[in-house]
Each structure stands twice: as structure tokens, then as C-alpha cells.
Structure 1
Amino acid sequence: MTAASKESRLGGMFRALQYRNYRLFFVGQGISLIGTWMQQIALSWLVYRLTDSVFLLGAVTFCSQVPTFLLSPFAGVIADRFNRHKILLLTQTLSMLQAATLAALVLTETIQIWHVLALSAVLGIINAYDIATRQAFVIQMVDKREDISNAIALNSSMFNLARLVGPSIAGILIAWVGEGVCFLINALSYLTVLASLLLMRLKPYVRVVQEHRVWQSLTEGVGYAFGFPPIRALILIVALLSLFGMPFSVMMPVFARDILHGGANTLGYLMGASGIGALMGALFLAQRKSVLGLGRIMIFTMLTFGLGLIAFSFSEVLLISLLCMLVSGFGMIVTMASCNTLLQTIVEDDKRGRVMSLYSMAFMGMAPFGSMLAGTVAEYIGVSITLAACGLLCALSIIPFALNLRKLRRLVVPIYQRLGILPEIARGLQQASSLATPPEQR
């Protein structure tokens, strides 16, 4: 590979950063996410320190994420009807206040488990509207539609770089000064994302008059998403991965303290290793120039994620556990980001908020049910067997998608042709589908 081609490929990996609004968002959100991951690690350690209960670890996650499951469809309607920029300003401000309240309770040593459960539920309600709106807001920050996939991959890179940095800092701070400082830093970090949103130069918002009421709009969006097999299949994959795979993070404090015989630093190392793997996966997606082949890649990475969890569940050696977390992190983020990219590419603009709210519902909304189920089962059969079962279910859940991949690919071809998105991909998919069609049917 020549120096020029290497430079071109490197530039292509970060091409979404050419847009000013996206650059602002990338920096502000990146700093804020470090604080978010610090809070998540500190919260799980706080709960386990106060209660010694795996069940309550799952209960806190349930309270923080079940509102997303219940409210995301309505949040998607809101995102399609109102100014997404103003919605994000509101949700980020409320999230900052939630973190500040949590910090005050911990630093004054008045925190109780019911405080944690209540504040987690409040954050879950805020996130239901924030996630759906933020996913739909990407298209307003990136002018060219063909760069949306790169923006999504860079978002994943940013998210997982924060997951690498945040837990590592949190582990050190928890050992030195306790969990309260982590919550305080998270509250202050929201100032950066609020500043980035205020500095954006956006086109004047023009509200589109909606003929349908909220319930009718919601029904229309659900019918559109689940009536089209490719969208339905992608949302189902995200839901299954979230249901069976995401509970691994809830059980991390147990593995760190009781199986690997470590402390908060060990928990930070495990989450950091998962973050490194996820960052590698996100950068792998960022350097890709097209969405061609993402379906096949998703099959491989979903299997990788499941097998990585199984191997981790039986490890009692820190180094092996870190390697397993790295592999699992890679598989998880490539699968999730690929689903996001494909959805953002094929969905119609006027239904984007509603479809992405269903994606958020599958991603964040199914996780609490998985966490509660895994936490309950782990109380009876142990965390190792529970996590191994979760990994096996993740690996098995991709099989239906693999069997129907060719049929789903054919349904997507006309969308690329009609919208003129990445013509070279449309031609490639068309050729692939024609080759797969028997000669007598051509």
C-alpha cells in the first residue's frame, strides 16, 4: 500500500469530522461520556458495597433502563415532531442535575439504596428521550448521507474510548476518595456537551405540521419498522444481544471481587479491556467505505461476542479474563454499530426518529429485563454458569438472521437504487443477488 493510499484511508476514517457541527458534538459528547462511564462504574461498586447483592445490582440496572423500554416509542414521535436540538439541551441539563444530586447524597454520606433506585429511574426516563433524539439528530450534523455510516462508527469509537478511560479513572478515584467524586465529575462533564450544542450552527428549524395524532404516528412508525423484514431483523438482533449479552456488565463487580479476588481497580481493568476491544471494533468500522458486507460481518461478530462471554465466565486468571473481555467488546460493538448503520441508511427520513426509538428500545430497553433475569438466576446457580448461558444464547440468536441474509439483502437493493445512496454498493448488491438467483428465474 502506497503512502498516498494510507493517508487517504486514514482521512476517510475520520471524514465525518469535516463537518463543524459534528466536530463540536464529537468533542463535547466524548468528554461527557467519560464522566458517564465513571458514574456507571462507581454506581455498581457503590451498590455492591452497600448491599452485597447481585439481585440489587440487576435491580438498579432495571430501574435505569426499563423507562427506555416503556417510553422510547413515544420519544421517537417527539423526536420527529419537535426541534431535536432543543430536546437534547433539555435532556442533557436534566442528566447533569441527576448526577449532581447523586454526588451530593454520596459526599454527605446520606445515600441509601432507595435513593439509588429512584435516581436511576429518573435517569432512565431522561435517557429514553435523549437516546432516541440523539440517534435521529446525527443526520442534521452530517451534510452528506454517505458519511452517516462513518459518523456512527466514530460515535462508537468515542463511546468506547470513553469506556476505556472512564472506568480506569473511576477505579483509581474509588480506591482513593470514594464514589462521590466520580458522580461529581460526571455532573461537571455535562457542561461540555451543553456548550457544544449551543455553539452549533444549524439550519432554522421548520416544524412540519403533523396530520396524525401521537398514537397514530406511533402506530405508523411501528408498522413501518416491523412490516419491513430488514428493519425488523436488525431490531431483533439488537434486542436479543441486549437481552442476553448486556447483563455481563452488571455481574462485573462480582467477578472482580469474588472470582478474581480484586477490588475497584480490577473492575476498572475489566471494563477497560472491554472498552479497548470495542474501540478496535469501532475503528474497524470507521475505516470501511461502504456498508457492503456488514451482514456477514455481524454474523461473525455476534458469534465472537457470545463465545468470548462463555470463555470469560470460566476464567479465574486476570490476564485471560482481560483477553476475553477484549474479544467480547470487539464483537459487541461491531454488531451493534453495524445494525445502527444499516438502519440509518435504509430508513425513511420522516420516520427516522420513530425507527431509531425502536432501536433504542431494543438496545437499552431489553437490557434491564436481561439484568433482572440474570441477577435472579445468578443468586441460585452462580454468576459463572449464568454468564456462560448468556453467551450461548447470544451465539444461537444470530442463526435465523444468517439463514435469511440473502433474502434480506435482496429487499434492500431497491432502496439504494431509489435513493441513489452509494451507487457502487447498490450495483454490488444487485450483482450478488443476481448471481444467487437460479438461471431459469433471471
Structure 2
Amino acid sequence: AIALSSIAWQSGMLIGPAMAGPLYAIRPDLPYIVSACLYALAGLAMLTVGPVPRTIMDRGKGPIAQIIDGMAYVGQNKLVLGVITLDLFAVFLAGSTALLPVFARDILKVGEQGLSLLASSPAAGAALVAFVFSFRPIRTNVGNKMLVSVLLFGLVTVIFGFSRILVVSMACLFVAGAADMFSVYVRQSLIQLNTPDDKRGRVSAVSLLTVSASNELGDAFSGMLAWLIGPVAAVVAGGGGAILITALWSRLFPQIGAARSFDPAEEEA
């Protein structure tokens, strides 16, 4: 289910940027018009969703107390805390996607058409991995594989920073998207299966909050760093930072590497 949901998300991330360049070439405001129409279509689709059963939880507590309970559980469960914060800091540091317009215009010099290709490359890699996982999910040594995927994400980000060839840059972004999707798949599966039913929604909300924060704040950080030291140095430093974070987290949270499967019952056995 996580893989199929990711396919839907990444397909949009793949098709959207690929359409943006040609639509902009026809008329500058056309991508925004198409986007507004698609938002309206998505809103109509959401209205067709029927009632969704809710899990049993303690209704005696107020919403603030329930939020605190969810965050407290994340702090107590070192595996869940480790995988959430690993993604938070790795993506925060290696947020190269915010600088793609600069690379397309000033470094690779490929214009808006090249920018569309660059922007869609990570989604293409992510969609491929999600498609494979939809029928061939990983089952063994999941924690170490997640650490390797984040390490690879940082490494190809460094290579992207040094690249001056469009095809090489696209390949780096493709691998980065694939590695990120691998990490997302493992992280979400571990969080879902290592959280009690009555706390799963709140813990998932904490995870979603950190993902959103890492993406948005990472873009802002990359822009600020690029202003200070230049876009190439900013991307290379960010990728190197993600590599260092992965090495540090493998030490601080040995529970990640010790996770052999997604099933907590198997881990206890």
C-alpha cells in the first residue's frame, strides 16, 4: 500500500515538471492555469471519499494531550525516533532540488526545457523503485539497507554538484530520487508497524510534519547557503553533510541497523 501510494505521488512529481516547460513555452501563465484546474479536479475527487473507520483511542484526553502522547511515544521509541530524524536532517542538508533553476540556467545552461528534465528525474527514479516494491517488497535487513540508501542519496548529491553535463546531472538526480524512495518506503513501513494502533495516526502526523519541515526548510537552507558560498559548494556541502549524518545516526541509533525486518514480532523472536 505504501509503494502504490508513493507511485501515485511520484507519478505526479514526474509528469508535472515534465509538462511545465513545454506549457511555459506556449504561454507563461499556462502551467498555473493547468495546475489550478488539476487542484479543482483533486478537490472533486476527495469529495467522493466515503466515511473512513477510526481506530479506538482514549477520547477522555483533549487534542493537545493526545498530540503530546504521540510525540512522547516517538521520543521513547528509539527506532521510530531514529528513522524520522535521519530523514529530517539528511533531506534538510541535501536539498539540492531548490537550486535546480540556478543549475539549469547558470551552470548547465540548458534553459527551461532542461529544467523540466532535471526536475522530473528524481520522481522518475522514485516511481521506478515504488513500482518494484509494489510487487517485490524488501523483507530482510531493512535497517541497514535504509542507511545505505541515505548514504547513496548524499553521495550522488555531491556528484550532481560537480557535474557539468546534463545527462550526468539527470542520472544523479534519478539515483537520488530512487534512494530517497527506498528510504521513505523503509521509514514509513517501520513507523507503521512499530507503532500501536491507538497512536499510529499521531505518530504518522509527527513523521509527516518532519518530512514537510525537512523539505521546506531544506530548500530555504540551500538557498541561503548558495547565497553565501555559491550553488555548487552549497550542493556539495549538503550531500557531504547527509553522508556524515548517516554515519553519525548509525552510531547514535543502533536500533536502525538492528532492524532485520518490518515485523516487530520477528524482531522480538
CA drift of 1:265 comes to: 0.9
Calculate the aligned-residue CA RMSD, in Å. Answer: 2.6
Code of the aligned partner of 1:372 = A
Mapped partners of 1:160, 1:328: distance in 2 = 13
Report how many residues are paired. 269
Work out which of the residue numbers 118, 132, 146 in structure 2 matches 1:270. Answer: 118
Establish whether residue 162 from structure 1 lines up as the match of residue 50 from structure 2.
no
CA drift of 1:286 comes to: 2.1
Confirm or deny: 8 A CA contact 2:139 2:261 kept in the other structure: no
| TM-score under structure 1 length normalisation | 0.56
Establish whether residue 234 from structure 1 lines up as the match of residue 83 from structure 2.
yes
Larger-gyration structure (1/2): 1
Which stretch shifts more, 207-216 or 322-331?
A: 207-216
Structure 2 CA distance for partners of 1:293 and 1:405, relative to 1, 3 Å: farther
Partner residue in 1 for 2:24: 174
Establish whether residue 371 from structure 1 lines up as the match of residue 219 from structure 2.
yes
Establish whether residue 190 from structure 1 lines up as the match of residue 39 from structure 2.
yes
Partner residue in 2 for 1:315: 163
Mapped partners of 2:258, 2:143: distance in 1 = 12
Mapped partners of 2:208, 2:114: distance in 1 = 30
Confirm or deny: 8 A CA contact 1:413 1:430 kept in the other structure: no
Q: What are the superposed Cα offsets for residues 336-374 of structure 1, whole Å, 9 maximum, x if unpaired?
A: 222112111211121122111211121111333322222
Mapped partners of 2:258, 2:118: distance in 1 = 41
Establish whether residue 302 from structure 1 lines up as the match of residue 150 from structure 2.
yes
Structure 2 CA distance for partners of 1:207 and 1:192, relative to 1, 3 Å: farther
Structure 2 CA distance for partners of 1:203 and 1:396, relative to 1, 3 Å: closer
Structure 2 CA distance for partners of 1:350 and 1:271, relative to 1, 3 Å: same
Partner residue in 2 for 1:64: none
Structure 2 CA distance for partners of 1:411 and 1:256, relative to 1, 3 Å: closer
Gaps of 5+ in 2: none
Work out which of the residue numbers 189, 211, 216 in structure 1 matches 2:65. Answer: 216
Gaps of 5+ in 1: 1-150, 418-425, 432-442
Confirm or deny: 8 A CA contact 1:230 1:412 kept in the other structure: no
CA drift of 1:409 comes to: 6.8
Q: Equivalent pairs: percent with the same residue? A: 24
CA drift of 1:310 comes to: 0.6
Mapped partners of 2:249, 2:107: distance in 1 = 35
Code of the aligned partner of 1:265 = Q
| TM-score under structure 2 length normalisation | 0.89
Confirm or deny: 8 A CA contact 2:90 2:246 kept in the other structure: no
* Structure with larger RCO (C-alpha < 8 A, sep 6+): 2
Confirm or deny: 8 A CA contact 1:242 1:364 kept in the other structure: no
Which stretch shifts more, 226-235 or 236-245?
A: 236-245
Equivalence map 1:407-418=2 (5 Å): 407-408=255-256, 416-417=264-265
What secondary structure is seen at the aligned counterpart in 1 of 2:136? coil
Partner residue in 2 for 1:225: 74
Q: What are the superposed Cα offsets for residues 319-346 of structure 1, whole Å, 9 maximum, x if unpaired?
A: 1111111111111121122211211121
